[in-house]
Amino acid sequence: MIVADSDVLIDFLRGHGNSARRVAVELGSGSFGTTAITAFEIRSGARTAKQRTAVDTLLEAMTILPFGPDEARIAADVRLQVEAKGLPIGMADYMIAATCISRDAVLLTRNVKLFERVQGLKLSGQYP
């Protein structure tokens, strides 16, 4: 499964570049989703009724992966490992990474350099 990060979903919603094209391709694959954390992030950024409708339509076309006890344990482990190296990432990013790791999914993101800090996380840039 390919799991989209907020940056590529925002690019899609705005119709920007390669990320938008990649999301469009993945939406047709039947094996494309995002995390509940990412859904929160992009819903929080939708300020107008038109933006909220676009976000809702996009999320309805995707699988939304929950964050539960297994993901919480993995996220805590990831945080300890990453912060021990002195290169922390954001709290939401630990949770997104853990959701992907728990499902052996590939994270589609433009923030590859940030997420490369997470051992065991499979990454895909914006290109197929």
pLDDT of residue 19: 85
CB burial of 91-115 (b: ≥16 within 10 Å; e: otherwise) equals ebbbbbbbbbbbeebebbbbbeebb
pLDDT of residue 126: 52
Walking along the chain (128 residues) 10 residues at a time, the average pLDDT comes out as 96 90 90 97 97 97 97 98 95 98 96 94 74
**SS3 string of the chain?**
CEEECHHHHHHHHHCCHHHHHHHHHHHCCCCEEEEHHHHHHHHHHCCCHHHHHHHHHHHHCCEEECCCHHHHHHHHHHHHHHHHCCCCCCHHHHHHHHHHHHHCCEEECCCHHHHCCCCCCEEECCCC
Contact 127, 18 (CB under 8 A): yes
CATH among 3.40.1410.10, 3.40.50.1010, 1.10.150.120, 3.40.47.10 for 2-124: 3.40.50.1010
